[in-house]
Amino acid sequence: MHHPGPPRFVSTGETVQLAPRDPDPAGRYAWRVADAPPTSDSTVGPESVTEFTPDVPGQYRLGLEAPDGDHLLTVLAFDAAYEGVDVAGGSGEAVRDRDADRAGIDYAAGRLADDGGPPRVELAAEVEDGAVVVRAAATPNPSSSLAAADLAVRFVIDDRDVAAAVAAGRTNPRDAMAVAETETGATLRLPAGSVPDRLRVHAVAVAREPGEDDRVSVADAVSVERADAEGTDPFGASAPDDAFTVTRPNRPPAWTADASVYEVYVRTFADADRGETLAAIEARLPEIAELGVDTLWLTPVLENDGKPHGYNITDFRSIADDLGDRDDYERLVETAHDHGMRVLFDLVLNHTARDHPWFRDANRNPDSPYRDRYEWSESGEPETYFDWELIANLNHANLDVRRYLLDVVDEWAPLVDGFRCDMAWAVPDSLWREIRDRVKATDPEFLLLDETIPYVPRFHEGMFDVHFDATLYFQLRQIGRGHEPADAVIDAVERRAAVGFPDHAGFLQYVENHDETRYRVECGDDAAAAAAAATFTLPGVPMVYAGQEIGQRGRRDAIAWDHAREEIRERYARLSAARDAHPALGPAGDLDRVDYRVAGGGTGERQIAAESDAVHPDDVVAFRREHGSEALVVVLNFAPGEALVAVDADHGRLDVVTGDPCVEADAEGGDRIRVDDVAVVPAE
């Protein structure tokens, strides 16, 4: 089906890309504005892939004439200004439209306008009394003075499902639905007989504070499907409650609640001189599994221009010769599965290498049929980011490019458990939305992980499940350098809600990767131990970059397996085991601040932890994690010296990470938690 996908929620003046799905490059596609607010002058271009910028708030219906018929797409535009908010509060378009040299990327991005950030919304659905009821729970921004009852909720039923219902002779679900406000949001009620075989409902929450611009949430969605479409009355009769199943398509795969990721930089990870690289990686899988991680991210394995990182791809359908062949890759994935590990494929969709056959032809021949498959600057040079000279940006408005990239997705998705999406911010939202629907239709538990720095809350809206948390990464570096207090880790986690991420969004927590200096090189061993513990005890998905667990110092050097520091590996294994054994430490566990005091902590000028054994109060942070009936107190110490920390919470005496007692009495008879890098104790 060429329908362009789910409804879009945008602000006036925000440009969105419109594209037919599953395109036939030889097909004819024509866009039009079928309906718009009376005062709007917005138009669409004549291209098959075009752009639309709403000029006034209100509801728009955009028409697409395609080989398989005519389609309508709803766009809701709000009078909401994002100019005062960092790109972390805006859209992917805002990220891509920054200066071409990408200067000044702020890893700690997420600055909010003075009047706060967007609200949030969560959808749930159930069948009751012969009707499908969708409930929207709206939550004000943490910095807002509004209550939930002050927020407006806008529902939109998916245009694809409206068309399907009408085609099947059912009542138009938009005509049959009833919306009511509640103290915590709103409900949408639809008679069961008006529900098509599939009903997708989307919604946003809108904050309207007096005298300020609207703030619009990340959209959420819920899907209601008929378990058995036969035997139901298409003209409004009720159906039994068990005739429907409900899913929440924007939720990350359930397995990510317990996931931990291990990144492999493929060309320097294993002893490739003893055999082909993929086979050598496969041979080390038992050792990785013993660490307790359960998800393997391999940097690109496709044919490339010879640069060791592999991101300059010359053939998107073939395994690189220096790594092995497709059989080797498939055997590696199968062996990983046998060891209880899922595998992430590094998906590169923004560019090709300049050695790619398309580009070689396009660059030397202005009349090349491949010329329009790339973006070109006025100087005649190919467009790139960061002045990268060996790649060229693809033109995602070209149907041949989109068709090819979708075929690449279809090639590799069946073999793996998810995609780590390289430079996700540089690829149009319309393509990611299509890719998500494409892979989830076959495997709802397929993971989409975006590398977007800084993170973008609206990338969780029908695109990605888990997001690189560069904000936490940056704060951990600042703490290790002595530039920020340790409790900045809590600020970083709280920032997720402040910039608009829903509670169900997932975050990849890391202290280093193949693009960054090793943490211990920059901040020292002691801070590195605490930083790693933070990634395993804060709510998110922890990641270990290969070599991190043995004290590796080179960022992309061959892993020094023969010089592994076993005490570090054992520390990581303990952290992993503790997280697996205690759900409160996982993404679903609540994070709360607690009051704490550091014994003997100086109050003078802040010291850089690596320079002294003295423990400054800013070197230490304590917090509470809770899930269900379990509660834990976590204490992190970034300083070289041992810290004694009093926590204003009743707690046990055994460290669940080591299994050893870690509490002693101070001179006044009070309890102090003794902590080198991390201590985790049960709480009342």
Distance CA(514)–CA(518), nearest Å, equals 9
Q: Which residues pair with 507 in a beta bridge?
A: 467
| Interaxial angle between packed helices 488-498 and 470-481, expressed in degrees from 0 to 180 and rounded to the nearest 10 | 160
Q: Find all residues with CB under 8 Å of 477, minimum gap 6, and list them.
A: 511, 519, 522, 523
Closest CA to 270 of 262, 261, 279: 279
Catalytic residues: 422, 451
Distance CA(179)–CA(128), nearest Å, equals 16
- Per the document, the length of the chain is 684
Q: How far is CA 218 from CA 71, 123, 138, 617, 631, in A?
A: 25, 12, 11, 38, 30
Distance CA(52)–CA(125), nearest Å, equals 32
Distance CA(97)–CA(360), nearest Å, equals 27
Is the peptide bond preceding residue 454 cis, with omega within 30 degrees of 0?
A: yes
Location of structure tokens 């006034």: 56
Distance spanning both ends of the chain, measured CA to CA? 55
Contact (CB, 8 A) for 674 and 598: no
Closest CA to 303 of 263, 336, 352, 269: 352
Closest CA to 420 of 534, 287, 301: 301
Distance CA(187)–CA(191), nearest Å, equals 13
Q: Which residues pair with 651 in a beta bridge?
A: 683
The kind and range of the H/E element at 593 are strand 590-593
Q: How far is CA 405 from CA 356, 363, 578, in A?
A: 14, 21, 41
Distance CA(357)–CA(318), nearest Å, equals 14
